[in-house]
């Protein structure tokens, strides 16, 4: 009898099953887990970015630490663009947010002697508020019309600064107080990036974010439901512009200078490229795109004139091969992981 039971156990059939099939969601944040593998399956996508971001400053050299600062700044700008895109506003003017935050921090530090720990958060809020007020009259515009306005305004501000010579004119403001150490610089911007990534990703998954996504999908239907879509769009614009202003204020204290280059088109185009390559609509895709494109740009710097050609070719290949974005592809493959289970 005992031998028969052993043979029966050995003859049990096994089949492959996706890991996520065994995870029963009680709500969006509460899961019923039956093994440590399922716990690791859920935790890994959240823990890996945190561990990688916290470890990178410790293993990189001085030069690549500076590159990491630029990566985090462009990732914040890409997240800012992604929030607007999910809310139905395609922006071509992240340079407006970046430049407004940079000049606000520079002015209050240069003329009033404020500490960087005051100017950075203050510039994030005030810069976001100023950008929101500037763009408030054009919130009713949609599509390419809104995009063109966001592209033109930074170019206008550059000419205003140049013509009026306000805030140092073409020479800018120098002698800005730096942050106390490079480690504070690194972990301040990394902490801000992780906070923005997880915080605003959660916001867009909440009921509030669903309203913003509904505005993007069909704003007329949302209006018919009695919701003031322009109030929601203004709030989303303030959040996105504050993120960009924070990035600009931070880099002002890193460079110890602020001038007209803070309104350069690079701060508008590269975040869009990062979001498209990484995968729009997820925040994580925009961040991943920045972690790919910014170091790639640095690696190609020694090639000279061919740098732009190879960089552009790389973008075309990624967009054609993975139009959904790298993050969406990785996410889909990750959810297809399987395990052996007994039938």
Within-domain flag for 330: no
pLDDT reading at 27 higher than 50:
no
Confidence of residue 5 (pLDDT cuts 50, 70, 90): low
What was the pLDDT predicted at 245?
Answer: 96
pLDDT reading at 340 higher than 60:
no
With pLDDT > 90 as the criterion, what percentage of the chain qualifies? 56
Query: In the 8-state DSSP scheme, what is residue 257?
Result: E
What was the pLDDT predicted at 6?
Answer: 47
Tokens (6 digits) for 75: 């990732």
Sign of CA dihedral 253, 259, 263, 266: negative
pLDDT reading at 240 higher than 90:
yes
Residue span of the structural domain in which 141 resides: 58-265
Q: In the predicted model, what is the mean pLDDT of the chain?
A: 86
List, as one string, the DSSP characters of 9-59. Answer: HHT--EEEEEGGGGPEESSSS-EE--SHHHHHHHHHHHHHHHHHHHHHHHH
Within-domain flag for 118: yes
**Higher-pLDDT residue of 26, 130:** 130
What was the pLDDT predicted at 342?
Answer: 57
Beta bridge mates, 340: 16
pLDDT reading at 150 higher than 90:
yes
Within-domain flag for 299: no
Within-domain flag for 292: no
**Higher-pLDDT residue of 37, 9:** 37
List, as one string, the DSSP characters of 180-214. Answer: S-HHHHHHHHHHHHHHHHHHHHHHHHSHHHHHHHH
Buried b (16+ CB within 10 A) or exposed e, 14-43: eeeeebeebbeeeeeeeeeeeeeebeebee
pLDDT in tens, 38-56: 677 777 788 888 999 999 9
Within-domain flag for 198: yes
What was the pLDDT predicted at 183?
Answer: 94
- Number of domains the chain is built from: 1
With pLDDT > 70 as the criterion, what percentage of the chain qualifies? 86
Within-domain flag for 155: yes
Within-domain flag for 11: no
pLDDT in tens, 183-230: 999 999 999 999 999 999 899 988 899 999 999 988 888 898 889 999
What was the pLDDT predicted at 300?
Answer: 83
Q: Rounded CA gap, 86 and 281, in Å?
A: 6
Least trusted range by pLDDT, from 15-24, 145-154, 260-269? 15-24
Q: Rounded CA gap, 36 and 128, in Å?
A: 43
What was the pLDDT predicted at 219?
Answer: 86
Average pLDDT over residues 166-174: 88
Within-domain flag for 272: no
């Amino acid at each position: 009898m005992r031998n028969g039971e052993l043979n029966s156990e050995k003859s049990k059939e096994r089949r492959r099953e996706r890991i996520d099939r065994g995870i029963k969601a009680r709500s969006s944040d509460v899961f019923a887990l039956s093994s440590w593998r399922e716990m690791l399956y859920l935790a890994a996508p959240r823990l890996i970015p945190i561990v990688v971001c916290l470890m990178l400053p410790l293993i990189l050299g001085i030069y690549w630490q500076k590159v990491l600062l630029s990566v985090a700044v462009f990732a914040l700008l890409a997240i800012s663009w992604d929030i607007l895109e999910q809310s139905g506003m395609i922006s071509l003017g992240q340079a407006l947010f970046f430049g407004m935050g940079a000049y606000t921090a520079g002015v209050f530090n240069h003329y009033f002697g404020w500490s960087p720990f005051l100017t950075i958060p203050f510039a994030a809020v005030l810069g976001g508020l100023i950008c929101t007020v500037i763009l408030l009259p054009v919130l009713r515009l949609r599509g390419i019309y809104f995009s063109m306005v966001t592209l033109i305004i930074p170019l206008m501000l550059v000419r205003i600064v140049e013509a009026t010579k306000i805030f140092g004119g073409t020479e800018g403001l120098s002698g800005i107080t730096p942050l106390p150490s490079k480690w504070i610089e690194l972990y301040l911007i990394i902490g801000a990036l992780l906070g923005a990534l997880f915080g605003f990703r959660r916001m867009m998954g909440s009921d509030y974010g669903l309203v913003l996504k509904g505005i993007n999908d069909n704003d007329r239907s949302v209006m018919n439901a009695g919701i003031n879509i322009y109030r929601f769009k203004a709030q989303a614009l303030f959040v996105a512009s504050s993120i960009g202003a924070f990035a600009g204020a931070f880099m002002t204290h890193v460079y110890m200078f602020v001038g007209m280059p803070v309104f350069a088109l690079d701060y508008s185009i590269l975040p869009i490229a990062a979001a498209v390559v990484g995968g729009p609509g997820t925040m994580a895709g925009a961040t991943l795109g920045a972690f790919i494109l910014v170091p790639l740009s640095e690696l190609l710097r020694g090639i000279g004139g061919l740098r732009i050609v190879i960089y552009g070719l790389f973008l075309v290949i990624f967009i054609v091969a993975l139009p959904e974005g790298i993050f969406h592809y990785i996410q889909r493959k990750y959810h297809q992981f399987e395990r052996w289970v007994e039938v």
